[in-house]
Amino acid sequence: MLSPHSLVRQTILVVLGAELLCVLAFSVTALEHERHTRRHAFDAMLKGRSDSVLATIQDAEDPADPLRMDDSEVHPQAGDAYAVYNLDGGLVSSSPNAPSALIQRKADGFSDEIVHGHPYRILQRSAARVLDRSDTNSPVVRRVTILYAANTEHIGHEIREAAAFYFAVSLVGFLLTTLILVVLLRRILHPIQELADKAAAVSVSAPQFEAPASALRLLELRPLAQTLTTAITGLRLALAYERNFVGDAAHELKTAVAVVRSSIQLLMLRSRSREEYARGLEVLLKDNRRVEDLVEQMLLLARMEERGREVELTDLAIPAATVVSTLTNYAEMRGVHLLLDAAGDAFTGMSPEKAEVLLSNLLTNAIQHSPHGSQVEVRCRVEDKTVLLQVEDHGAGISAAALPHVYERFYREDVSRSRETGGTGLGLAVCKSIVDGAGGSISIASTVAVGTTVTLKLRLRQPSSA
């Protein structure tokens, strides 16, 4: 079983994780920029201080040692060290007590050294000092190498202070944005939570669902909310329909069984002649047959209501002719004449079995409600890409008050007459189920004492040529 996960929690964690990465990236970038800026400024300072050392170099006017320095004019910062070398590599001057590691010649450029546990930044550069000779009244260029070293501990301290500042600012910003994001995300995702809560409250015992307005306002959630509403509404109607059907079926079966029991009890009240027992058994057989017909109709209705998509094509003219031929003898026994007017190529999406059940129910109904000497007409034709099937009788008709209820299960306008004809009240419900499953429509027009016309409209389908 999969463990549940909160979409809200996951979204918040993802957003906060992304924000934290951005904060870390910003802090690292800012610190690197700070380090680079301070190092660049420090290097510029070293060059300036080395220039101040260069400015103190003077001409000694001694061919053996042409350079000299006035150390009193050199003012290095505390902890700094310097050294000046002539073109031949001889040491001209250096700061007193300077560690040899700081004033030892290296390659030109910047370098870093750890001396006595302290970090130093060292600049070695070649420079030219232009001097005026008093004896020649012409400038003289003296080339030297200058080393200048300065302690960098304060830079590390400043960078650590900057890092602490950036970290504090980032942390405060992260906490503030976290609170804002949590509130905003919960508000943005609230419609999903509300929709989920509504859906979770649906149960078989309480199939009620009303999509929250917040979900219907969102383009992304509206289709889901509408689909849930449609599906659960359909479920509620189906459950109500099932409850009604079970209740009606139980009532009908109980009534039929009670009739059989009463007939048996009537036979047992006293001794009867053989002829009376025979008549009583005939009544029992008739009542038993009615129970059997009722069960068969209920099973037929359940089978017809299976909403499998119809893939078979049937020419309704063929099952119409078959059913008329089958019921001709039954109609003649009741003194009813059957007329068939069916054109071919009336193909529609319905299996032959369902087509015969449909036509048999309609035609049987018409025969049972037609008076002796009347006729029942069956017409099947194609009109404007529609298969039109009509069954018309000239019987007692249906009252206007009963017409809206004729498709209801077990509905019978005249119960006593239905008992005489053997009707179960399921025939038209079966017919409507079959027609709905084929994507068609069924309508009934009736006038009391004139007759009834049942009209079916089904989409014309073209059979494949294969």
Per-residue pLDDT reduced to its tens digit, 49-67: 888 888 887 766 655 556 7
Is residue 290 assigned to a domain? no
How many structural domains compose the chain?
1
Q: 311 pLDDT exceeds 70? A: no
Structure tokens at 281: 């058994």
CB 176 within 8 A of CB 136: no
Is residue 5 assigned to a domain? no
Report the pLDDT averaged over residues 15-37: 85
117: which DSSP letter?
Answer: T
Q: What is the model's pLDDT at position 252?
A: 61
Q: 402 pLDDT exceeds 80? A: yes
Is residue 313 assigned to a domain? yes
Structure tokens at 207: 């199939």
Q: What is the model's pLDDT at position 264?
A: 80
How many Cβ atoms from other residues are within 10 Å of residue 173's Cβ?
Answer: 13
Cα(368)–Cα(330) distance, rounded to whole angstroms? 10
Q: What is the domain extent for residue 403?
A: 309-459
Domain of residue 406, CATH code: 3.30.565.10
CA-atom Rg of the chain in angstroms: 53
pTM above 0.75, yes or no: no
Is residue 77 assigned to a domain? no
CB 123 within 8 A of CB 135: no
User: What is the sign, positive or negative, of the torsion defined by CA atoms of 400, 404, 405, 407?
Assistant: positive
Q: 304 pLDDT exceeds 70? A: no
pLDDT digits (tens, 9 = 90+) for 218-250: 888 888 888 888 888 888 877 776 776 666 666
Q: 426 pLDDT exceeds 80? A: no
Report the pLDDT averaged over residues 182-200: 83
First-to-last alpha carbon distance for the chain, in angstroms, is: 49
Is residue 125 assigned to a domain? no
pLDDT digits (tens, 9 = 90+) for 125-171: 998 887 766 655 667 778 889 999 999 888 888 888 888 888 888 88
Cα(313)–Cα(305) distance, rounded to whole angstroms? 18
Is residue 195 assigned to a domain? no
- What stretch of H or E contains 208? none
Q: 86 pLDDT exceeds 50? A: yes
Name the least confident of 104-108, 129-133, 230-234, 402-406.
Answer: 129-133
- Place 177 in a pLDDT band, splitting at 50, 70 and 90: confident
Q: 12 pLDDT exceeds 80? A: no
Please report, rounded to a whole number, the percentage of residues in the chain having pLDDT higher than 90. Answer: 21
Report the pLDDT averaged over residues 84-106: 85
Q: What is the model's pLDDT at position 124?
A: 92
Q: 310 pLDDT exceeds 60? A: no
Residue of 465 and 328 predicted with greater confidence = 328
Residue type, 94: S
Grouping H, G, I as helix, E, B as strand and the rest as coil, residue 424 is coil
Q: What is the model's pLDDT at position 418?
A: 47
Is residue 383 assigned to a domain? yes
Is residue 261 assigned to a domain? no
**What value does the mean pLDDT of the chain take?**
82
H-helix segments, 369-450? 415-421, 427-437
Phi and psi at 344, nearest 5°, equal -80, 180
Q: Which of 111, 112, 110, 116 is nearest to 98 (CA)?
A: 116
